[in-house]
Chain A
Amino acid sequence: MGVDELFRREAPRLRRYLGRLVGDSDVAEDVLQETFVRAMERRGDSAARSWLYTVATNLVRDRARSRERRDRLADRVPRPRADHAHERVEAGELRERLEAALAALSHRERSAVLLRHEGYAQREIAEILGTTTGTIGTLTARALRKLAASDQLKGFRP
């Protein structure tokens, strides 16, 4: 599979994963671009979907977003995204709450729970994050409990 085909197929989900992982759409877009530039440089050997997520996750980790930026999430004004007025409010509020709740997790907890949501098995997540399946299970369980108990998401149901 060529990189262009890979991009068409994977970019939307990878953008979503990165957006949630970093909590900043501009940074997510930069990382998405850099990931595919690396895939392009890697040429014919870039078909593995998990490779993309490994590179993207490592890029995010390297950037190590500042704590200050995370703290500012709580004050962010939700940006309307949906088409209808009532959906705008709900979509914006949900995104804002999710971002704030995810920001309270560690990078590895966040990566683990988001990769799981993107359909990766624990073994694959372990490969992407460079750790053991057991550790991923622990991180995932901890992240799920924290999210479910977070003030941002408590009582909020889609």
Chain B
Amino acid sequence: MTHVHLTDADLIAILDRDPRGVLALESLSECPECRARLDDLERASEVVGALLAADDDAWEREGAAQDAPTALGQLGEGQGQEEGSTVEEGAPEQGWWVRSRGRTLLAAAATVLLLFVLGGPALAFVSEWFQTSDAEPPAVSPSPSEATFSYPIPGTALTVDFSDAAPTGLIVRGVESGDVTVALVGAGPADEVTFEDGRLDVSLRGATPVSVALRVPLTVLDFVVVIEGEPLTPAWEDDGAGSRSWSPLEGR
């Protein structure tokens, strides 16, 4: 009978004494190759485990200093504080998360104000944010909730970096990157869009106006689209193929 080698998952199950490993153990005795792979993996596991365990001590010391003594102990009171995000003098370690959340809210509010109130300067900001290679900035719709960025300039490259911790560009939260597909609609052969590793790159080289369409499977129920820190609830269209579509970027 032909021996079927154990998979890495089987070997991990054996090492972790997972119930799945019991069956795999029986197969192990028949195959020196599988035994050797298990031994190698066990050594790797021990080395990595020992290094992480040694580093655990340092984390514990840091954590003890950081958490002591309250941290979230003020959670109940903190709920009422979040708008002002004020923490009394003399208790700097208490409610640290509240302060931070307040700062985030303030930053988001400032961004919205920038877009809604400043108008022209806001457009300039968005232009810089999009890093266009041409002098003329892309137009942005007056309301972020419309979720439409007009991008009228053929021959330019648009880059939106999803990957930075700071609010940047167009962000989709709550979906696996593999679930999201981004496509150019009405594009010529020279136009390209890529969406991988948290980064959307759009390169428009043709003369035809295009739009960038985002598609998310209908099975994904809980997700949000964020533009510059502001969650959006855009109107999605069922495309009849098990997904819904939305065009955040439109050419003219």
Residues of A within 8 A of B (CB): 2-4, 7-8, 11-12, 15-16, 19-20, 27, 30, 33-34, 36-37, 40, 58, 62-67, 81-83, 91, 94-95, 98, 113-114, 116-117, 121-123, 130, 133-138, 140-142, 144-145, 147-149, 153, 156-158
Q: Which one, B55, B61, B97, contacts A36 given CB within 8 A?
A: B97
**Chain B contacts for A12, CB-based, 8 A:** 59-60, 63-64, 67
For B58, what are the chain A residues with a Cβ–Cβ distance below 8 Å?
Answer: 81-82, 91, 94-95
Contact with A along B3-29 (1 / 0, CB 8 A): 000011111110010101000000000
Taking CB atoms, residues of chain B closer than 8 Å to A11 are 63, 67, 71-72
Q: Determine whether the beta carbon of A144 is less than 8 Å from that of B50.
A: no
Q: How far is the CB of A51 from chain B (nearest CB, A)?
A: 14
- Which residues of the other chain, A, contact B198 by a CB distance below 8 angstroms? 63-64, 66
**Chain B residues numbered 108-165 whose CB sits less than 8 Å from any CB in chain A:** 161-165
Q: Are B75 and A40 in contact (CB under 8 A)?
A: yes
B-side contacts of A145, CB under 8 Å = 40-41, 44
User: Can you offer 16 A-B residue contacts whose CB atoms are under 8 A?
Assistant: A4-B72, A8-B72, A16-B59, A16-B60, A16-B63, A20-B52, A63-B198, A64-B177, A65-B165, A81-B58, A81-B61, A117-B52, A122-B18, A140-B8, A153-B48, A156-B51
B45 part of interface (Cβ distance < 8 Å): yes
The contact size tier of chain B is 35 or more
Q: Which residue of A lies closest to B62 (CB)?
A: A81
Interface pair A36/B72, CB less than 8 Å apart:
yes
Instruction: Flag if A37 contacts B10 (CB, 8 Å).
Output: no
- Are A148 and B8 in contact, with the CB atoms below 8 A? no
B66 engages A15 (CB within 8 Å): yes
Q: Tell yes or no: B88 within 8 A of A by CB.
A: no
Nearest chain-A residue to B100 (Cβ)? Answer: A33
Q: Judge if B92 is at the interface, Cβ distance under 8 Å.
A: no
Contact mask for chain B residues 63-83; partner A; CB cutoff 8 A; 1 contact, 0 none: 110110001110110010000
Say yes or no: A133 contacts B20, CB within 8 Å: yes
CB of A76 to closest CB in B, whole Å:
15
CB < 8 Å neighbour of B163 from A8, A65, A98, A140:
A65
Interchain Cβ contacts within 8 Å, total number: 153
Decide yes or no: A138 and B9 within 8 Å by CB, A66-B164, A91-B58 being known contacts: yes
Which positions in B face A, CB cutoff 8 Å? 7-13, 16, 18, 20, 40-41, 43-45, 47-64, 66-67, 71-73, 75-76, 79, 96-97, 100-101, 161-165, 171, 173-174, 176-177, 197-199
Residue among B13, B51, B79 with the highest chain A CB neighbour number at 10 A: B51
A148 touches B72 (CB 8 A): no
CB-contact partner of B56 in A16, A34, A138, under 8 A: A16
Residue of A nearest to B224 (CB): A62
The 10 closest A-B pairs by CB, nearest first: A137-B9, A64-B198, A158-B54, A7-B72, A141-B8, A148-B44, A12-B63, A137-B12, A16-B59, A33-B97
Distance in angstroms between the alpha carbons of A3 and B51 in the assembled complex: 31
A4 vs B73: C-alpha distance when bound (angstroms)? 5
B41: nearest residue on chain A (CB-CB)?
Answer: A141
Complex formed: what's the CA distance from A105 to B164 in Å?
Answer: 18
Q: Which residues of A contact B64 (CB under 8 A)?
A: 12
Cross-interface CB contact of B73 among A8, A81, A141, cutoff 8 Å: A8
CA distance A130 to B220 in the complex (A): 13
Contact indicator B12/A130 (Cβ below 8 Å): no
